Structure 1
Amino acid sequence: MEDVNYKGIKKQLEISIEKLYIDDLGLLAGIEKGLNTQKVEKPKVGYQGVRGSFSEEAAESYFKESEASYSRYDEFEDVMEALTKGDIDYGVLPIENSYTGEVIDVYDLIRKYNLYIIGEEIVKVTHHLVGIEGSTLDDIGEVYTHPQALGQCQKYLKNHPKIMQIPYANTAMAAKYISELNDVSKAAICSQRAAKLYNLHILQEEINTKSNNFTRFIILSKTMQITPECDKVSIVFTTKHTSGALYNILSHFAYNGLNLLKIQSRPLREKSWHYFFFVDLEGHLEDANMLIALGKVSKESEYFSILGSYKQYAKL
Structure 2
Amino acid sequence: MTTPRIEKVLHASIDNLYVGSEEFLAEIEAGLGAAAISAPKVGYQGVAGSFGEQAAHEYFGGNASAITNYKEFDDVFTALEHGEIDYGVLPIENSTAGDVLEVADLITRCSLYVVGEHIIRVRHNLLGVSGASTGMIREVYSHPQAISQCRDFFRHHDRINAYPYANTALAAKFIAETNDPAKASIGSLRAAELYGLEVLEKNIQTAKNNYTRFVILSRHMEITRQSDKISLVFSTAHKSGALYSVLAHFAYNGLNLLKIQSRPKLDTPWEYIFFLDVAGNLEDANVLIALGKVREQSSWFKLIGNYPHCHHTDRQ
TM bracket, shorter-chain basis? over 0.9
Partner residue, 1:126: 123
Give the AA of the match of 2:20.
D
1:145 positional shift: 0.3
The answer as to 2:97 corresponding to 1:79 is no
Please say if 1:271 is aligned against 2:268.
yes
Query: Secondary structure in 2 aligned to 1:220?
Result: strand
Who is 1:311 aligned against? 308
**Length-normalised TM-score, structure 2:** 0.94
Alignment check: 8 A CA contact 2:117 2:214 kept: yes
Partner of 1:94: 91
Other-structure match for 1:4: none
Partners of 1:238 and 1:288 lie apart in 2 by 23
**1:313 counterpart SS class:** coil
**1:151-166 matches, cutoff 5 A:** 151-166=148-163
Moved more, 241-250 or 174-183: 174-183
Q: 1:150 aligns with which of 147, 151, 163?
A: 147
> Shift of residue 36 of structure 1?
4.2
Percentage identity across paired residues of the two chains: 53
Structure 1 stretches (4+) deviating beyond 4 angstroms? 10-14
Matches within 5 A, 1:1-316: 14-64=11-61, 66-316=63-313
Q: TM-score, normalised by structure 1?
A: 0.94
Aligned-pair distance for 1:27?
A: 1.3
Shift of 1:100: 0.8
- Asked if the contact 1:27/1:306 (under 8 Å) is kept, the reply is no
Moved more, 212-221 or 65-74: 65-74
1:132-163 residue CA offsets vs partner (Å, 9 max, x unmatched):
11111222111000000111101011111111
C-alpha separation in 1, matches of 2:75 and 2:113: 16
SS at match of 1:237: strand
Code of the residue aligned with 1:302 in structure 2: it is: S
Equivalent residue letter for 1:138: G
Equivalent pairs, count = 307
Aligned residue identity for 2:133: T
Aligned residue identity for 2:306? S
Aligned-pair distance for 1:12? 7.5
Q: Which moved more, 1:96-105 or 1:30-39?
A: 30-39
Alignment check: 8 A CA contact 2:11 2:285 kept? no
The superposition leaves residues 154-184 of structure 1 with CA deviations (integer Å, 9 ceiling, x where unpaired) of 1011111111100001111111111111111
One-letter identity of the residue aligned with 1:252: H
RMSD of equivalent CA atoms = 1.4
Q: CA-to-partner distance for each residue in 1:278-315, whole Å, 9 max, x for gaps?
A: 10000100111110100100110111111000000035
Note the residue ranges of structure 1 that are not aligned, 5 or more in a row. 1-9
Which stretches in structure 2 are left out of the alignment for 5+ residues?
Answer: 1-6
